[in-house]
């Protein structure tokens, strides 16, 4: 795919697979437990990720992992907006905002964010309008249910077909709301209302999500699917995460959303070197 996304003036070249680095701005992601030092901490983390080859930084102020509680709007804004402002100023790489709230989308865009990453695929009232007004690329992710309850008995007829149908509907709703198709990305939503077998099937058949011709984003880093297969705790899932990211890229993912940037970037360098044919007799 010869494709360069315009992320608020910062280009994101998706002609080769790219690493999205996760920057969680939640109190429990910081050693001091308070948000007072969050911007400094996030800047240091971002600097490290950039030195290790990250192409885009994903800033989120509300956890969406299974069982997570919702965060009120003012709290989410307080967490993410100061961080986005500083990241946008300090670095060349685009900054993505991981949110489902239209008010956060608008404020993040005003602060210079370059991509909207919405696990609810713009289903919140006003979200399509906010994303259209922001004029940014949007990642539409599939989720069955909501983060608090999504892991209780998820069900599909055919997990790939059902998710493809949902994403196709969200693309249509987005286009109808004035968001150009060229600005949309798709994500099957690993771990969002899926059993172990659903997640494994999604990765096995990931290539089927390339059919609409939109860029594919995959987030599977450190998720419980990897813990279930390996028996490892969340901070011991680096190798499993790199393996899964590489399998996603091999099946056509354009962006992998990860915690472990250096390890993933190295794996993608090997993928790139092996995949890029040269006709010079080596």
| Pair of tokens at residue 231 | 């028996």
CB of 43 to ligand PT1, least distance (A): 21
DSSP string, 88-134: HHH-SS-EEEE---HHHHHHHHHTT--EEEETTTT-STTHHHHHHHH
Kindly tell me which of 41 and 58 has the beta carbon lying closer to ligand PT1: 58
| Pair of tokens at residue 180 | 């150009």
From residue 144 to residue 183, the character string flagging contacts with ligand PT1 as x (rule: CB under 6 A) and all else as - is ----------------------------------------
Interface with ligand PT1 (CB under 6 A), residue from 41, 62, 76, 187: 187
Catalytic, 181? Answer no
Interface with ligand PT1 (CB under 6 A), residue from 7, 62, 164, 192: 192
- Provide the H-helix boundaries in the chain: 38-51, 73-90, 102-110, 127-134, 159-176, 196-204, 224-230, 238-250, 261-275
Give the active site residue among 79, 101, 183, 223: 223
Helices (H) and strands (E) in the chain, counts: 9, 10
| Contact by Cβ (8 Å): 25, 62 | no
21 binds ligand PT1, rule: CB under 6 A: no
State residue 164 phi and psi, 5-degree precision: -60, -40
Catalytic, 101? Answer no
Interface with ligand PT1 (CB under 6 A), residue from 23, 174, 186, 190: 190
98 binds ligand PT1, rule: CB under 6 A: yes
64 binds ligand PT1, rule: CB under 6 A: yes
Site for ligand PT1 in 120-139 (CB under 6 A): 139
Q: How many residues bind ligand PT1 (CB under 6 A)?
A: 18
Residue 216 has what DSSP assignment?
B
Catalytic residues: 223, 257
């Amino acid at each position: 795919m010869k494709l360069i996304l315009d992320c608020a003036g910062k280009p994101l070249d998706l002609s080769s697979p790219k690493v999205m680095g996760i920057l969680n701005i939640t109190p429990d992601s910081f050693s001091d437990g308070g948000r007072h030092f969050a911007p400094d901490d996030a800047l240091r983390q971002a600097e490290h990720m950039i030195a290790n080859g990250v192409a885009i930084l994903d800033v989120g102020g509300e956890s969406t992992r299974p069982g997570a509680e919702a965060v009120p709007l003012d709290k989410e804004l307080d967490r993410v907006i100061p961080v986005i402002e500083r990241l946008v100023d300090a670095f060349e790489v685009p900054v993505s905002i991981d949110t489902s709230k239209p008010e956060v989308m608008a404020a993040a865009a005003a602060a210079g964010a370059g991509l909207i990453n919405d696990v609810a695929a713009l289903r919140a009232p006003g979200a399509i309008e906010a994303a259209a007004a922001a004029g940014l690329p949007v990642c539409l992710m599939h989720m069955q249910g909501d983060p608090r309850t999504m892991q209780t008995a998820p069900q599909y007829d055919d997990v790939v077909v059902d998710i493809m149908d949902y994403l196709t509907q969200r693309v249509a709703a987005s286009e109808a709301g004035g968001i150009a198709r060229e600005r949309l990305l798709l994500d099957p939503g690993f771990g969002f209302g899926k059993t172990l077998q659903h997640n494994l099937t999604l990765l096995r058949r990931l290539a089927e999500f390339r059919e609409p011709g939109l860029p594919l984003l995959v987030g599977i880093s450190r998720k419980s699917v990897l813990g279930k297969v390996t028996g490892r705790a969340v901070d011991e899932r680096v190798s499993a995460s790199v393996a899964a990211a590489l399998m996603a890229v091999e099946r056509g993912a354009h962006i992998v959303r990860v915690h472990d940037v250096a390890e993933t970037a190295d794996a993608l360098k090997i993928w790139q070197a092996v995949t890029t044919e040269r006709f010079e007799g080596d």
